[in-house]
Amino acid sequence: MKPVAWITGAGGLVGSYLVRTASRWAPAWDVRGLTRQDVDLTDEAAVRRLWQEHQPAAVIHCAAISRPAVCEQNPELARQVNVEATTHLALLASEVPLLFFSSDQVFDGRQGRYVETDRINPINRYGETKAVAEEFVLSNPRHTVIRLALTAGTSATGDRSFVEDMRRSVAANLGLILFTDEFRSPVPAGVVARAVWELIAQKHSGLYHLGGTERLSRMEIGEALATWYPELASRLQPGLVAAYPGPPRPPDLSMRCEKLQRLLPFPIPGFRSWLMNRTTVGIDVWDYPLT
């Protein structure tokens, strides 16, 4: 029998890509994607019962309250899901590999081009919850934390990625105000999925950054997307972070990923170069190619 691998948050963006690419990149595993309908991760007794039933040999923990605005509005829920549920899973998985997705939001954005050894200093509740959770996860040498950059992809529900958010705004006849002074390292979801399966196969643990190789402003990201989604082009409007009325936004969360790149048999791409090299024939634009 194949060993069981849990993927929490299987209904989300990254979790769904991990599930659907498992047959390609992780054929040795019996992959079981868990959604909210399968188990409430904040119900420790229910999670423990399911653990005893499945006896997973690895856990990829994607589930989270990942929208900063929601974390600001409901900090207790953010703590329960992002910290307490993660801590409980890490304890259950104390003897097996666990890979936890943290975020570039653990940084304050004053520096940019962050590496794994740089000091963290979150400035919003989402980043704070991720920082607390990753410290606990990394206390076990079997476990892994990936600080994930802004991730592009398409989901079954159509509302799990920034690409989908932008397209829905345009469909609702809304303008797109994109900051020219906020920088990220966007990465396709298919690249994330393949990199994770490589880490699981190689049995590497520790802390890694995963983002694209290009540092792009929000406006540059929008302009790149307009080459694939022409309906965006006429809606792009430049803006500044200083004028944003919502939760605090770190201005530069670009990351360097050389540590992870050394372990991977494929190059982590830049966002614009990825889009330039896509074709429309038989492949999700955000999925990793078979070759």
pTM above 0.75, yes or no: yes
pLDDT at res. 282:
52
DSSP-assigned letter for residue 107:
S
pLDDT digits (tens, 9 = 90+) for 268-281: 999 999 998 876 55
Domains assigned to the chain: 4-276 (3.40.50.720)
Any bridge partners for residue 187, and if so which? 151
Which DSSP string corresponds to 158-213?
S-SSHHHHHHHHHHTT--EEEESS-EE--EEHHHHHHHHHHHHHHT--EEEEE--S
pLDDT at res. 159:
82
**Residue 58 pLDDT greater than 80, yes or no:** yes
